Chains A and B, each alone.
Chain A
Amino acid sequence: MENALFSYALRLGDDSLVLGQRLSEWCGHAPAVEVDLSLANIGLDLIGQAQLFLGYAGEVEGKGRSDDRLAFHRDVMAWTNCLMVEQPNGDFARTMARQFLFSTWQKALFDGLAASKDARLAEIAAKAVKEVTYHAELAGDWVIRLGDGTEESRRRMIDGLDWHWRFVEELFQADAVVETLVAEGVAVDPAGLRPGFDARVAAVLAEAGLPEMQLPRGVVGGRKGHHSEHLGHILAVMQHIPRTYPDAVW
């Protein structure tokens, strides 16, 4: 599998960057100033991760593409983030549902990746796992607060989880890239992460008094560049300035 490492690092970077971009949309719009800070904080952590993963991906690729180049000069089909992170923010409950599911998965993944045979991936994951542990706990707290809050907050939390549940399957998919790297001890086998993820989600839903999620047929495609209609809009906003002034330095 040629350049599997590039593809893998790119995916991890794309996941973090797209979600970081999504969270930036909340700036100044969160339910309270303290929540505004929390969301910005998580967004900044994610963008920091994206810089590291994309920077490394560019080095592995060896074609002179920097993290900026990869972030701002790639079209929709060349993005390999999972579909969950590109979903619209919706209301606060939906944003927190997405954060909880994604961060819980990301924490399990980075825990494993910190022991990767690839020293750079291991290093980035070891740094990031501290951040995403916090994200997962914070979001879990909110799932519980909203699920166990008022009638309306409960309804919205269920709606938010329902929206994102169909994208969970994709997080645990393995393809040739993953299989190649798992065999080399570089990547984490996603199937091994599933039981821990399920247990954590079940525990939080139980504490929130929310019903168990029923898994519909998963929607997949992000890793192959087959995205929902939302990603193009995100990129249009995110890439506008660098595309207009491709030689700009900042």
Chain B
Amino acid sequence: MKTDWPLWEVFVRARGGLSHRHAGSVHAPDATIALRHARDTYTRRMEGVSLWVVRSSDIAASDPKQAGPMFEPAESKVYRHPTFYDLPDAVKHM
């Protein structure tokens, strides 16, 4: 390839799945072709799946060096976690 195609991140929602999950990435010249490549690479065309592609350069990521200040408050304070409830069986997808 003479000109490098941009990288696209691929998110797939499986049939019956509730949310899109990051599946990987593909190179493609534009979004339409990126969807086609994502379909061929990550879904094997199971019907009823949903695909999202987004340019990798459009994703803002948290800084690993800031992981301490960023995530620490969640770790040491158990009262932040709603883990003390027994969920009734009728409640799904929690």
Contact A145–B29 (Cβ < 8 Å): yes
B contact residues, range: 10 to 19
Contact with A along B54-74 (1 / 0, CB 8 A): 000000000000000000000
Contacts of A33 in B (CB 8 A): 27
Which of chain A's residues 16-52 have a Cβ closer than 8 Å to chain B?
31-35, 37-38, 41
A87 to chain B, nearest CB (A): 24
- B-side interface mostly: mixed
Contacts of A141 in B (CB 8 A): 32-33, 36
Contacts of A145 in B (CB 8 A): 29-30, 33
- Is A201 in the interface zone, CB < 8 Å from B? no
- Is B1 in the interface zone, CB < 8 Å from A? yes
- Is B51 in the interface zone, CB < 8 Å from A? no
Contact A34–B32 (Cβ < 8 Å): no
A contact residues, range: 10 to 19
Contact A31–B1 (Cβ < 8 Å): yes
* Contact pick for B36, options A31, A32, A38, CB 8 Å: A38
* Contact pick for B28, options A34, A41, A134, CB 8 Å: A34
A34 CA to B45 CA, complexed, in Å: 15
Contact A34–B40 (Cβ < 8 Å): yes
**Contacts A/B (CB < 8 Å), 26 sampled:** A31-B1, A32-B1, A32-B5, A32-B27, A33-B27, A34-B26, A34-B27, A34-B28, A34-B37, A34-B40, A34-B41, A37-B37, A37-B41, A38-B36, A38-B37, A38-B40, A41-B40, A41-B45, A134-B45, A138-B36, A141-B32, A141-B33, A141-B36, A145-B29, A145-B30, A145-B33
